[in-house]
A and B are shown apart, each in its own frame.
Chain A
Amino acid sequence: MKVMTQEQIWQSVLAQIKLNVSSANFATWFANTRISDLEEGVLTVSVPNSFSKEWLEQKYKTDILKIIRSVDSSIKDIEYIIAPLKKSFSTNTVKINKEEEQLGFSEFEKDEETNLNPKYNLKNLIIGPFNEMAHAAGEAIIDNPGEVYNPLFVYGGVGLGKTHLIQGIGNRIRSLHLNKKIRYIPAEKLITDVVNSIRENKVEELKKEFKSIDVLIIDDIQFISGKTKTQEEFFHIFNVLYQNNKQIILSSDKHPGSIGALTDRLKSRFEGGMIADIGMPDLETRIAILKQKAEERNFNLSSSALEYIASNIQKNVRELEGALNKIIITEKITKKPATLDDIKKQLKNIISVKTKITTPEKIINTIFDFYNLDNQELFVNSRKKEFSRPRQLSMYLLKKELKLSYSAIGRKFGGKDHTTVMHSCSLIEREYAENQKFSQEVEMVLQRIYSE
């Protein structure tokens, strides 16, 4: 007799049972049952719930056994286990229903296992010159996680889609490689986890957990700056994952070289794979983004309106979305479509805030934070490069953004001579033109100054 597969055995049972019971009974008790195991003459059948289990065990046991033994006489007994139906994973369950202004708990949108938010997918990520390199690197990783570009380090300013990109990559890997264990974790969470594990004496358990991950995605890694213990633990986790060809994806708001208070060994590891930056989207891309966001929400926007919004909000994708929200809500309240003039009026606040002039204090404080400086005194006077460079940059930006006079700037830095200030400015200007990494850094500082 030819050997039947487990599936065929069960099919023959179902076929014969079906002849002898009513269709309602069959549908109620036999739906979603299957053979889950066959070992030493004991056949294990999985059933969806305990009602089915009791029923099959008590009412059909002899019938089923008889049929099975006629197919495969080596089977001596049947056992039933309850195995709930596995929910299939799909990224398409994302419902975009942002019409509701009612806010919900964002925690519920996350996927329990990976911590990824399914709303981020690469299909609705607009690709333009500003992010195509990062996106291409992501695509390569999706095909072969852990084998190319490890780690992938994505950096760029706020609201440009870093989180969208890296979570999108995670979701895509998840749908293509079902057996890979993926974990998304914001750096702040990593830090609290490490702190808690130290307090509860569970560091080893935490490390063990991390080491079982196939694709580790950490958002806003710059937050581990200055967190010595977290850096140390993360260094070990990183090494283990890296040596085992597990994919690591990191995002940050600055280049690894510019993350202050980061140990050199971590810095060099971050730089060891692929570093991709996300810049500002150009006008066409901004229009495309806006158009897509409007479509997602079934909202019609004239092309002149699209262009107006996109050309006036330049630095940040999140603000584009905010502007769109505002228009949609107003239209819902007033119940009539907005004209370009209405839109101009509505967005006056947002746009004029953007073009507003910043203050010297704001520029200096932002730079102070950006470079993680902690000493006002040294910032003003030290000749060490880690202090002098930010100081020179501050002078340059005070000149360029606020058009302060050289001597006024000098006074702000402990009464420096105006020639010193001029020298600093020209130094930065030259560096800005020649060194691409530095110019990106300056762009990021600028964006921070104007985005907060």
Chain B
Amino acid sequence: MKLTILTQDLKKGLSFTERLTGKNLTLPILNNLLIEALPNFLKISSTDLETGIEWWGLSKTEEEGKITIPARILVQVINNISDEKIEIEVKNDTLFIKTKTFKTQIKGYTSDDFPIIPKFSKEEFIEVNAQELKDCLVDVVDIASLSQIRPEISGIYFVFKKDVVNLVATDSFRLIERTLKSETYKNSFDEDIKFILSQKTTKEIINILQEKSGLVKIYYSESQILFETNLNEIDHPEINLISRQIEGNYPAYKEIIPKEHKTRVFIDKDSLIKQVKLAGLFAGKINEIKIKTIENNLEILSQDIELGENTSVVEASVEGEAIEVSFNYKFILDGLTRIKSNEAVLDFQGASSAGVIKEKNNESYTYVVMPIKK
């Protein structure tokens, strides 16, 4: 195999693919990248057997061929190259890298033992704006539960309906739902497509969408899912991310989102965040702060037996019943910081029922949080 490629392109390809490598002790081949020289393209693949990533970059290919190379050493070498172009050649299971100023050879292994990344039927697909999808995923991904006791809720729930996308995560104490409505969104399947992906896979998806303008295509099969982005220059895939879905049914999460409220508070987001952070200093081991409405103010109290206590007041507009309820302040901060504008709406239904954090005049974000028992 023999080809020439732009250094910048190769670095990009490595940065997408190497993240899946380097964590497998039982099957050392998984620490390698599969490098293939195809007509006009260099293809790099990696997998951890849950997720697989394939990347294509334009190249001048003189001779086709393939090899696997340990990811870490290859990445370190390429990252130190500042010349514009790189020449790659494989002879006798060794990778030769050559630039104007530079010559390296890395020992590789045959590609025969590298896992085969599953293929997909590409008839039906979903198409959505990459940046919009990424923004939603960034909001929800960290809320998913880390516990493996309920594998379903350790993942991110993707719901692609006919005209709207819902992305949901929960750790059983709070739940976040982001709704994506967009003119460019398309779903060619007959029914709604729903699946659960692990937090790790979702983070990989965020990574591949990071600097992608335009659309991302999503293909679906019973147990697998494929995200595909295109090269900017020509109509050819740049990245295929294939992942296993998490088995099981996601809980009927809509039932958790309260439909009504007894108290509604309109409040300035930034001032509230500031005061919640302050109260958090005295929130003790269980991070407890108390939120209380006093006429048109929201009072935030916290108390730590050893450290001291704190009371702060934030101006607000309060509708409905007076309320006094305790929360984990970190959960409240997570809910508030995801609001884009400065106008937050807090809904409560009593001291032992879920509270809701929303953005004023914006239906695309809902954050439900359970209180601390009094």
Partner of B118, one of A50, A100, A101: A50
> Are A24's CB and B372's CB within 8 A?
no
Q: A51-B118, A82-B222 are known contacts. Are A107 and B328 too (CB-CB below 8 A)?
A: no
Q: Inside 8 A of B372's CB, which chain A residues have their CB?
A: 101-103
> Are B244's CB and A105's CB within 8 A?
no
Query: Does B223 have its Cβ within 8 Å of any Cβ on chain A?
Result: yes
23 interchain pairs, CB-CB under 8 A: A24-B27, A24-B28, A25-B113, A27-B26, A51-B47, A51-B49, A51-B52, A51-B116, A55-B115, A59-B116, A82-B222, A87-B247, A95-B149, A102-B173, A102-B328, A102-B370, A103-B371, A103-B373, A105-B175, A105-B256, A105-B368, A112-B248, A334-B305
Bound complex: CA of A333 vs CA of B255, how far in Å?
34
Partner of A58, one of B116, B170, B252, B255: B116
Partner of A107, one of B248, B256, B373: B256
Bound complex: CA of A93 vs CA of B173, how far in Å?
19
Q: Which residue of A lies closest to B150 (CB)?
A: A108
Bound complex: CA of A104 vs CA of B172, how far in Å?
5
Q: A28-B49, A51-B118, A101-B373 are known contacts. Are A93 and B172 too (CB-CB below 8 A)?
A: no
Q: Inside 8 A of B153's CB, which chain A residues have their CB?
A: 108
Bound complex: CA of A87 vs CA of B328, how far in Å?
33
Bitwise, B114-141 to A at CB < 8 A (1) or not (0) is: 0111110000000000000000000000
Bound complex: CA of A50 vs CA of B121, how far in Å?
14
* Number of inter-chain CB pairs below 8 Å: 86
Bound complex: CA of A84 vs CA of B152, how far in Å?
14
Q: Which 3 A-B pairs have the closest CB atoms?
A: A54-B116, A103-B370, A50-B118
Q: 7 additional contacts, CB 8 Å, given A101-B373, A107-B251?
A: A25-B27, A51-B118, A103-B371, A104-B172, A105-B173, A108-B170, A112-B248
Bitwise, A89-115 to B at CB < 8 A (1) or not (0) is: 000010100001111110110001000
Query: Does A291 have its Cβ within 8 Å of any Cβ on chain B?
Result: no
Bound complex: CA of A333 vs CA of B368, how far in Å?
27
Which positions in B face A, CB cutoff 8 Å?
26-28, 47, 49, 52, 113, 115-119, 149-150, 153, 170, 172-173, 175, 222-224, 244, 247-249, 251-252, 255-256, 286, 288, 305, 328, 352, 354, 368, 370-373
Interface residues of A in 35-56 (CB under 8 A from B): 49-51, 53-55
Main secondary structure of the interface of A (DSSP, over half): helix
> Are B352's CB and A54's CB within 8 A?
no
> Are B27's CB and A105's CB within 8 A?
no
Q: Inside 8 A of B119's CB, which chain A residues have their CB?
A: 54
Q: Inside 8 A of B26's CB, which chain A residues have their CB?
A: 24, 27-28
Measured between C-beta atoms, what is the minimum distance from A293 to chain B in Å? 15
Q: Inside 8 A of B371's CB, which chain A residues have their CB?
A: 103
Interface residues of A in 2-27 (CB under 8 A from B): 24-25, 27
Q: Inside 8 A of B305's CB, which chain A residues have their CB?
A: 333-335
> Are A54's CB and B118's CB within 8 A?
yes
Q: Inside 8 A of A82's CB, which chain B residues have their CB?
A: 222-223
Q: Inside 8 A of A334's CB, which chain B residues have their CB?
A: 305
Measured between C-beta atoms, what is the minimum distance from A390 to chain B in Å? 32
Q: Inside 8 A of A28's CB, which chain B residues have their CB?
A: 26-27, 49
Q: Which residue of B lies closest to A103 (CB)?
A: B370
